[in-house]
């Protein structure tokens, strides 16, 4: 995988993958297991959240392995941007608008996805230099909200995350999203702890199939 991709090329790659698993676990070992199983299910990108213990080390490990596009989530400071980029992250996700994080992403040449819900927040995130807007938590506002935002920000790439599963993903695709993020049900910690590989594989494949069907792929 090229190491000199532009932020837009990285974003294009995310859009091509379609579904971004948001890995938020109580330990790096559980997170690593979830990534391994979801790779088996056909996923090619992973957002490792900074709330996962040992997140930077895991990003470094997965980046060194190659074969997947690794990003960092819940990034709230420029120092954290520097840490995750050094570890190999190609995109950085923040749950809210933090202009200094967007500036740090530009300095390091990585894609920046910034969280927003309202038109004012979307405008602030784009003005700060975000490459895409993470609508979080998406389930509290739903696809109709994103469709309305898309009508006034037609050139903005929206990536809803939070509460999206195989039963709801088609309605988000219909609202004009660029791609989607999925955590909870896709990376069910209870299943990972139990060693239920088949359960994770089934959930992963079901969501990906639903997304591709909605896209007509």
Q: Is 134 a catalytic residue?
A: yes
Q: Which residues pair with 73 in a beta bridge?
A: 49
Question: Rounded distance, CA 205 to CA 132, Å?
Answer: 26
Catalytic residue among 9, 134, 189, 198: 134
Catalytic residue among 9, 40, 47, 86: 47
Q: Point out the residues that are catalytic.
A: 47, 134
């Amino acid at each position: 995988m090229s190491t000199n991709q532009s932020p837009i090329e990285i974003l294009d790659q995310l859009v091509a993958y379609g579904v971004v698993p948001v890995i938020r676990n109580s330990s790096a070992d559980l997170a690593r297991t979830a990534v391994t199983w979801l790779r088996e299910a056909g996923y090619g990108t992973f957002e490792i959240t900074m709330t996962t213990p040992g997140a930077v080390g895991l990003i470094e490990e997965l980046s060194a392995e190659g074969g997947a596009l690794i990003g960092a989530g819940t990034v709230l400071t420029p120092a954290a941007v520097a840490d995750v980029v050094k570890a190999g992250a190609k995109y950085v996700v923040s749950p809210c608008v933090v202009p200094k994080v967007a500036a740090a992403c530009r300095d390091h040449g990585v894609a920046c996805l910034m969280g927003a819900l309202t038109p004012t927040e979307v405008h602030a995130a784009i003005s700060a230099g975000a490459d895409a807007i993470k609508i979080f938590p998406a389930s509290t506002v739903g696809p109709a909200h994103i469709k309305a935002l898309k009508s006034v920000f037609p050139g903005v790439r929206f990536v809803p995350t939070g509460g999206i599963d195989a039963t709801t993903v088609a309605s988000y695709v219909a609202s004009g999203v660029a791609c989607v993020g999925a955590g909870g049900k896709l990376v069910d910690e209870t299943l990972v702890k139990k060693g239920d590989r088949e359960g994770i594989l089934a959930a992963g494949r079901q969501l990906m199939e639903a997304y591709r069907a909605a896209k007509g792929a």
